[in-house]
Amino acid sequence: MDSQHGPGEARLIAVLLITRSRSGPRLVFHYPPVPQAILPRRATDAAEDDASDLESDAGAGDDDPDRILSTHRPLTAPLDLDSNRGLESDIDANRDASSSSGDLLGYSVDSLERLLSPGRWAARKKFEICLNGITFLGHPMYAREDGEWGPKSATGRRRSIPAPSPCRDGDGQATAETTNITITAPGSPAKAFQDYTHMPDSLDSRHAISLGTSMESTSTASGLPAEQMAMFQVVFALRSDQQTYAAAIHEHVAKKLSKALHHCQMQHDYVSLESRKILALKSKTKQNQTSPDDLHIQLVEHSELAWALKEVYEKIAVNDVAGIRLNGTQISLHIPQDRPPTTPSSPPLTLHSALLLLEDKEALLNSLSHPEASPLAHFIRSHTPTKPLLKLATNLNIPSNEILYLSHHLIKWRKARAILPLHPRNTYVLHHEAPIDKLVELIPIYAARFAAVPTLPQMIKVLSGKPMVYGLLIPSRDHREPYMEILAFLDRHGFVARLQTFGWLRVGSGDEQRGESERAVSGVSLLSPHLRPVEDDEVSVASERTVVTTLPAEGSGTRQDDGVLRERLILDPADPSTEEGEAVDRIMDSLADTELRERLPQMLKYFDGEHALEDIAVREDLKRAKVEEWIAMLQTEGHLVTFRAI
């Protein structure tokens, strides 16, 4: 299990771009400009930990696929050292001899270049090196043996250019006590370019891959023929005690980013051209003794690839979605979460759910490659959080399974979340975990978007007071749309929660039960730690009281010595006992309203204390006003016990 770290102990340390040509490896780019190195441990500590790792590897079961596919190999890059010296001592010696300007993460750039440019045996495999508290993780991509990147052509012969020979075990062979290098063979082949983008009309929809282009280009820096790039690798440096995090980084970020870059390299020589651009700019600014921060600002401004790697580092480091461009194409990368983030209301996504966008429509549409033709763009433009997805699918003439797919897609990339449809006849209150500390930041955003309406502090004040139906705040029918947009804004930022009504059918009838349905039984269990009991509209939901548990007693309508009415509730009307079924029949026979008598069997399953009564109309496709009228009848007749809660 990974250890926990505070905000100052980031798991992701740096992102590096390594390339290799006939002249050798190059560290083309890294971010941040000055990464924070892990303080080196004592050599004995490292040796003990590595020995422990080897023992645990040896004891691992053969049924672990990751361990079956992984092998520990010594460093294969040539190191001009005595054969009796290990990798760690070699890098330490280079680190001490080099100037501070040539250091990165506590080691010399020259050593890191050789360390992070493996031979062809590592192509398209998980490449992992654990060294002195830092794990270097990547997914190397190599050109073909003839130097070309694209698939072999069926006709014609390409100019054969010898690729660099695979690295061989040299004098600097590392021992098990100093370094772990894991090369994991690829598993079963997956579909190309899956889940790269947060929009279906981007890179993962490009099924046709063109043949590789020739690399006979010239350097923009010198005009001399440019060397062919034989290999590239984006390397993620992270803390070595984060094994689970490292596996997620490789699977969801490093591997997908490498495949996307390989796709761009095959089509347009993208990585080669961007690398030359970065190196040329670095060479130019070196003469002016530019600071690392200023250099990286210039690199990010002039190189799309440098900007993309910066975005990947900054977003992935805070567990956000990295939306980047590669060769002008939008792609997104992120690490899926085991559990979705806690939100005020995040029900499971169904056709009865609505979707709440977490970004403005304009921003989402601008991120699409083809917003005019994209089905997702059509869905976003027509979206409203006040309508369930089923009704939206009908209005847009889109199959329900497709509307669910598009919704899941937006939720996966954290562009939306599922909510209960917003409605002006619902009661919304200030959420107990409302981010009040963000008010200062949100006030100008709210003011710029909503003019001639109550300010954000005024809305917060009203919602924190006596619960009321939200529609009572809307001055007129003409104001309904902006006020519902305000409600969506408040919900998006976690300020509101819906106050819902729950209830059970009560066995028996009589004058002593009428008028006491709201107070007789508050519940049969503590359904939630955040329950706020509201007996009437004069009780604020800010109350910290919890629901009073009143267990149903055998028999009906009996008053005990403590003065509390204890009665029999039908807890599961969808699966009643024989006695309860007979009681339901008596309730139906006693109803004077013919329409309610016909609809009650359809509504029974919602009277279980777990389903919000406000959802009956949406889920059963009934008129909301009618459902409210029927529920009022059941309460008046003493057949329904209700309580309200967040």
User: Alpha helices of 228-374 — where are they, by DSSP H?
Assistant: 243-249, 255-268, 270-286, 292-302, 304-317, 361-366
DSSP of 305-332, one letter per residue? HHHHHHHHHHHHHTT--EEEEETTEEEE
Q: What pLDDT is recorded for position 36?
A: 77
* Burial status of residue 218 (CB atoms within 10 A of its CB: 0-12, 13-18, 19 or more): exposed
Look up residue 164 and give its two tokens. 């660099």
Alpha-carbon gap, residue 307 to 368, rounded angstroms: 19
**Residue 407: predicted pLDDT:** 93
pLDDT along the chain (646 residues), means of 10: 45 95 93 75 44 37 34 34 37 41 81 91 91 92 88 51 36 38 42 38 36 33 62 94 90 94 93 94 82 87 94 92 86 74 62 92 79 79 93 92 91 88 94 92 94 93 93 93 96 94 79 41 35 37 32 40 61 88 90 92 93 91 92 92 90
For residue 330, what pLDDT is reported? 80
Question: Could you count the other beta carbons within 10 Å of the beta carbon of residue 522?
Answer: 19
492 HSE (CA, 13 A, CB side): 18
Q: Which helix (H) or strand (E) holds 13?
A: strand 12-21
pLDDT at 373: 57
Query: Which residue, 463, 446, 445, is CA-closest to 455?
Result: 446
d(CA 431, CA 494): 7
Q: How high is the pLDDT of residue 370?
A: 62
Close Cβ partners of 422 (under 8 Å, ≥ 6 residues apart) = 354, 385, 386, 484, 487, 488, 491
The continuous run of DSSP H or E covering 626 comes out as: helix 624-636
Residue type, 82: D
* Sequence-separated contacts (24+) of 625-628 with Cβ below 8 Å: 626/595, 627/603, 628/425
Q: Which residue has the tokens 């983030």?
A: 341
How far apart, in whole angstroms, are the C-alpha atoms of residue 505 and residue 573? 8
Question: What does the angle CA 379 – CA 382 – CA 384 come to, to the nearest 5 degrees?
Answer: 105
**How far is residue 475's CA from residue 140's CA, in Å, rounded to a whole number?**
62
User: CA 227, CA 23: separation in Å to the nearest integer?
Assistant: 8
- Helix or strand or coil: residue 411? helix
Which residue type does 144 have?
Answer: R
Query: DSSP string of 55-96?
Result: HHHHTS-TT-HHHHHEEE----S---S-TTS-HHHHHHHHHH
Q: What is the pLDDT of residue 228?
A: 87
Which pLDDT value is given to residue 65? 33
Supply the pLDDT for residue 316: 93
Tell me the C-alpha distance between 217 and 272, whole Å: 10
In whole angstroms, what is the distance from residue 232 CA to residue 28 CA?
10
- Give bridge partners of residue 428 from the DSSP assignment: 498
Q: What would the two tokens of residue 381 be?
A: 């433009």
The CA distances from residue 112 to 43, 87, 96, 103, 136, in Å, are 19, 11, 14, 9, 10
- The DSSP symbol for 349 reads P
**Closest-CA residue to 413 (of 197, 125, 140):** 197
Separate counts of helices (H) and strands (E) for the chain? 20, 20
Helix (H, G, I), strand (E, B) or coil at 182: strand
Contacts of 447 (CB under 8 A, 6+ apart): 455, 456
pLDDT computed for residue 153 by the predictor: 58
Element (H, E) at 454: none
